[in-house]
Amino acid sequence: MRLGKWLGWLGLTVTVLLIAVVVLLLTLDISTYRRELESAASEALGRAVTIAGDMTLGVSLRPSIEINGLRIANPEWASRLYLAQIDRLGLKLALLPLIKGEVHIAHFHIHGADIRLEENADGLNNWTFGEEEEEAVAEESEQPIWLPSIQELIMRQATIGYLPADAELIELSIADATGTSVADKPIEVEISAAFRKVPFKLTMVGGSPGDLSSPATAWPVRAALQVPEGSLQADAVLHKPLVSTLKLRVALEGQRLQGLAPLLGTELPESGPYALSARIRSRDGGVELADLKGFIHDFDRWQRIVIDQGGFSAFDNEPVTVNFSGSIDAASFAARFLGGTLIQLQDSEADWPVRLELQAADASLQVNGLLHKPLLDGTQLTLAVQGRQLNALSPVAGTELPTSGPYDG
């Protein structure tokens, strides 16, 4: 009886204490600890960290904290005062894992961020922190980076820039980005943004977080990229370790190749419409591309190029092969290339054998030979050409040829 009463009083006491702690936390003004938090963060990063706005603390089964006006300073050599300026940053923690000493972030959001990563001519960057910054850049730590698990990530109105030492600023402007990673459910990502001022929408659905972390389970992922004048879809299966095997199916289509130029940072022709699909597989020692199909209109001097079937393979100990068949302005063609292995190609002293067979219209071309290295030292080739009329090759050549023929040489 006494034990029962004692347990009853103990339970009541614990309940009262918990209520008192909750009331204390709810009435606690976390902003009063602003200077202590700034000092601790600054010491940890080796940079000045300031909090210009309010801070709020929420107490529930998912404790939360929100910080307004977070600023992280740049090193003196950088182009501007701050590495990062974040208007509002907030997170909610899962309580039960926190009691066990584990950090599981149930919700993390960033609103109004301006982040710029920079490098200088001396090889330094502004995202390596601490007093040993120069040594850290020269010698990367072999210790794995610990990151807490995040179930939901939201980022809105954020700009992330990268300024290399010898190039112009590249910026990614994120209007809205969300990502979810919940146990036993697919990882999902959706981003609406602009890269190099080209708007795009990216969606991705992958396997579960458990499958991703499992060393024995392949991880499926499906991604779709939409830009104003084109789209890209990819289905992949990633095997672990990720560098060992990759199976990927891609499909690209659009109205103008030039529309992709700003996104890729390179000049592209004013060609289109276009469509291309292929299956790609990588494994130790090389890569293989198969089932290549597609078409493109108004490419250079040709009105329409069609690839009915194509492929490519290159491996350390297997011959490099390239196969294409299709049509150029209604004139059919087929090409096959056979070379030596990648190991032979990389050997600075070994000759590299080549064989090329080309069939176009009623003409054929065969090339056999050896490429000496360095290539400027000489090449041995034998050439065989035959056909009935040269002008039959005009569509393939992209220029008008004489009606001469037959020919054989």
pLDDT of residue 142: 46
pLDDT tens digit string along 274-332? 999 999 998 878 899 999 999 999 988 889 999 999 999 999 999 999 999 999 888 89
Tens digits of residue pLDDT in 327-385: 988 889 999 999 999 998 888 778 888 898 888 877 888 888 888 766 556 677 676 76
Strands (DSSP E) contained in 211-255 are 219-227, 230-238, 246-254
Q: What is the pLDDT of residue 95?
A: 72
pLDDT at 266: 84
Secondary-structure percent of the chain, ordered helix, strand, coil, rounded to 5: 20, 50, 30
How far is 68 from 112, CA to CA, in rounded Å? 10
Mean pLDDT of 115-136: 78
Report how far residue 257's alpha carbon sits from residue 274's, in angstroms, rounded to the nearest whole number: 8
The answer to whether the CB of 356 falls within 8 A of the CB of 337 is yes
Phi, psi of 118 (to 5 degrees): -135, 150
Give the highest mean pLDDT range of 137-146, 160-169, 277-286: 160-169
Q: What is the pLDDT of residue 97?
A: 67
Q: What percent of the chain has pLDDT over 90?
A: 38
Structure confidence at residue 212 (pLDDT): 79
Instruction: Answer whether 74's CB lies under 8 Å from 118's CB.
Output: yes
Summarised one tens digit per residue, pLDDT across range 239-280 is 766 556 788 999 999 999 888 888 888 888 889 999 999 999
What's the pLDDT score for residue 253? 94
Token pair listed for 102: 């584990």
Residue 190: φ, ψ to 5°? -140, 125
Q: Does 135 have pLDDT greater than 60?
A: no
Least confidently predicted of 137-141, 147-151, 183-187, 354-358? 137-141
CA separation for the pair 53, 69 (Å, rounded)? 5
What confidence tens digit (pLDDT) does each residue in 199-253 have? Answer: 999 999 999 888 877 777 788 999 999 999 889 999 998 876 655 678 899 999 9
Give the rounded distance of the alpha carbon of 401 from its chain centre. Answer: 46
Q: Give Cα 229 to chain centroid, integer Å.
A: 20
186: pLDDT strictly greater than 70: yes
Higher pLDDT, 4 or 36: 36
Task: Output the pLDDT for position 374.
Answer: 63
DSSP string, 31-66: GGGHHHHHHHHHHHHTS-EEE-S-EEEE-SSS-EEE
pLDDT given at position 377:
61
Whole-number pLDDT of residue 409: 62
Residue 145 has pLDDT above 60, yes or no: no
Question: What pTM value is reported for the model?
Answer: 0.78
**Strand stretches in 268-394, DSSP E:** 274-283, 286-299, 302-315, 318-328, 331-339, 352-360, 363-371, 379-387
